[in-house]
Amino acid sequence: MKTEIKLKLKQDINKTDVSEYPNFSSEWENPDPQFLEDQFDELNITKLESTISQVKVYEQDIFFVREMEWTLLFEVNSISDLKEYLSEEFVMTNDQFDAQRFISIFAGNLEEIEVEAEEAEEDELGDVVYLEVNETEISGEIIFT
């Protein structure tokens, strides 16, 4: 049984928090959220596809902003078991999907961005710094087929 989760995310980070990191822009423009599918081990997820699309990056007042669409497509043996599991995690209530709750439990690499602390020499890796995203707005839907 196929399941599709369509998410829209809008994030911002304060410009002053990132001004000293030269590779911030390239990291910000290429989001890499992770679906924590190991949370679903008992449901035997197969054929997992994770796609980021429609990434828009712009400046707004004192913030850098990015918007993106994240689609997860996967198969499970039982949609009813998946619905039950999502209900137990309060991701689904009365057949209503809570995208914010889903992200808080089943996604990684969204609340911070990894950048190098300073320009490294060509053969060296710089120290890694994790910058916290200021705010994340999330909406989405889940489709069972």
pTM: 0.87
Residue 120 DSSP class: P
Whether the predicted pLDDT of 122 surpasses 80: no
Whether the predicted pLDDT of 28 surpasses 70: yes
Query: Which residue is it, tokens 């009813």?
Result: 80
Which H or E run includes 115? strand 112-116
Measured CA angle at 115 (ends 53, 27), to 5 deg = 20
Amino acid at 130: Y
pLDDT average, residue stretch 35-59:
90
6-26 pLDDT, tens digit per residue, is 999 999 999 999 999 988 999
Q: Which of 5-19, 36-50, 73-87, 120-134 has the lowest mean pLDDT?
A: 120-134
CA 110 to chain centre: 5
Least Cα distance to 132 among 103, 111, 114 occurs for 111
29-46 pLDDT, tens digit per residue, is 999 899 988 878 888 888
Q: Which two tokens stand for residue 104?
A: 């808080």
